[in-house]
Chain A
Amino acid sequence: DTGVSQDPRHKITKRGQNVTFRCDPISEHNRLYWYRQTLGQGPEFLTYFQNEAQLEKSRLLSDRFSAERPKGSFSTLEIQRTEQGDSAMYLCASSSRSGGSPTDTQYFGPGTRLTVL
């Protein structure tokens, strides 16, 4: 399967701990997005990479959150000193302007569900 993958699928942690999530995009995609989704809401944009460059960051992304995309391939999202309000589904998506797919169609991974106790 060559879709977007995320790891882990579920994470339960205690308040104050650090957590790290990984996203592997579709291999030829140069754009990668992170979103957060809570129950009953649409996904909220967190940050966006084009290749290895982080081009946009939402104000939702506090200084406890950091994202990287070394070498423009996989990406990691780290949350330090987790709080109960961080409990949500964290979604990753990738897209590309090249190739046979419609321009800039976003393809989503299955998400990582974070529960902070």
Chain B
Amino acid sequence: KQEVTQIPAALSVPEGENLVLNCSFTDSAIYNLQWFRQDPGKGLTSLLLIQSSQREQTSGRLNASLDKSSGRSTLYIAASQPGDSATYLCAVRGGSYIPTFGRGTSLIVHP
């Protein structure tokens, strides 16, 4: 059974810092990995999707990497802003298309 762990569970940083959020998974036979952001009481917003054959994806200040063999992904946020405050979730999808989510990293960026 796939298990997904996200570290740290919570993070509080001053504005402008560069951040790294970690996601690890136990079964490396994955189809893709997707990073989401969730604001309190809201649905999830897709940030980046990495296919199993890819090593990284970039969108604006966000960069996600994937090391399938070691079962790890990182989400790098450059020059963090208060508007980045949210919970960040990673979801791993195996061949059956059933996604497994981590518990998320709760991020607060204070001015």
Interface residues, chain A, with chain B CB atoms under 8 Å away: 4, 6, 31, 33, 40-45, 48, 55-56, 58, 89, 91, 93, 102-111, 113
Contacts and interface: CB of A to CB of B under 8 A. Distances in A.
Interface string B73-98: 00000000000000001010100111
B44 to A, nearest CB: 4
B100 interface: yes
Interface of B: 4, 31-32, 34, 36, 41-46, 49, 51, 89, 91, 93, 96-104
Given A91-B44, A105-B49, A48 B98 contact: yes
Contact of B34 (A40, A48, A105): A105
Contact of B103 (A6, A40, A104, A105): A40
User: By CB atoms of chain A within 10 A, which of B51, B91, B102 has the most?
Assistant: B91
B43 A91 contact: yes
B97 A43 contact: no
User: By CB atoms of chain A within 10 A, which of B89, B98, B102 has the most?
Assistant: B98
